[in-house]
Chains A and B, each alone.
Chain A
Amino acid sequence: QKEVEQDPGPLSVPEGAIVSLNCTYSNSAFQYFMWYRQYSRKGPELLMYTYSSGNKEDGRFTAQVDKSSKYISLFIRDSQPSDSATYLCAMSEKTSGSRLTFGEGTQLTVNP
């Protein structure tokens, strides 16, 4: 079983839709949670990062962490065609120097 599970999609939505992306994990030592966006042939771009359970909002993006359920989500409101990309969840343990464990990535297409 993978430490981090993420539905690879592909996910296709119309412009303006609310998008929900999710990851589950099995390692209870994960403390830090990140969402990256990766366009084709580009490096991943950090969108959101959180430490504790709860919600964090940044513009059209909301990250949600539920440590009790080992479940994290990224919501995108008013989705735009420019949001079309692969979204990767990533997490790490608290120890300094800890590596990131990535989900497989969800490929999202927002249709105009």
Chain B
Amino acid sequence: GAVVSQHPSWVICKSGTSVKIECRSLDFQATTMFWYRQFPKQSLMLMATSNEGSKATYEQGVEKDKFLINHASLTLSTLTVTSAHPEDSSFYICSARGGHQYEQYFGPGTRLTVT
């Protein structure tokens, strides 16, 4: 149990375009979802936390107008990178947690390359 999927697994886009990444909890209701960014050989950096039906809470230094997060249902959250630039190229990972859980279950990640 506790499976989280992400789509797409890999995306290449041109500079200036927007990219949407989906995160789904497949077998549990995710009251809270988290979005992370990870650079090579580094640990995960939390970007934002979202609760179903509420606005996301962004970490300091993360531009909320650039990284749009929507958590419209208990099984789906989306991250949209708007006006992407090469420096946005990274590995984006979502995680999800159920109502009474404290552990987080991670998706397989999405590799974004902006050319």
Among the stretches B12-20, B43-51, B62-70, B72-80, the one at the interface with A is B43-51
How many residues from B make CB contacts under 8 Å with A? 23
Q: How far is the CA of A37 from the CA of B8 in the complex (A)?
A: 22
How many whole Å from B32's CB to the nearest CB in chain A? 6
Chain B residues closer than 8 Å to A92, beta-carbon distance: 102
Interface check A17, CB cutoff 8 A: no
Q: 29 A-B pairs, CB-CB below 8 angstroms? A: A32-B102, A32-B103, A34-B103, A36-B106, A41-B91, A41-B109, A41-B111, A42-B108, A43-B95, A43-B108, A43-B109, A44-B44, A45-B106, A46-B103, A46-B105, A46-B106, A51-B102, A88-B44, A90-B104, A94-B102, A97-B49, A97-B51, A98-B102, A99-B34, A99-B49, A102-B44, A104-B42, A104-B43, A105-B43
Task: Supply 13 further A-B pairs (C-beta < 8 A) apart from A43-B93, A43-B108.
Answer: A32-B103, A41-B91, A42-B108, A43-B109, A44-B93, A46-B103, A46-B106, A97-B32, A98-B102, A99-B46, A100-B34, A102-B43, A102-B44
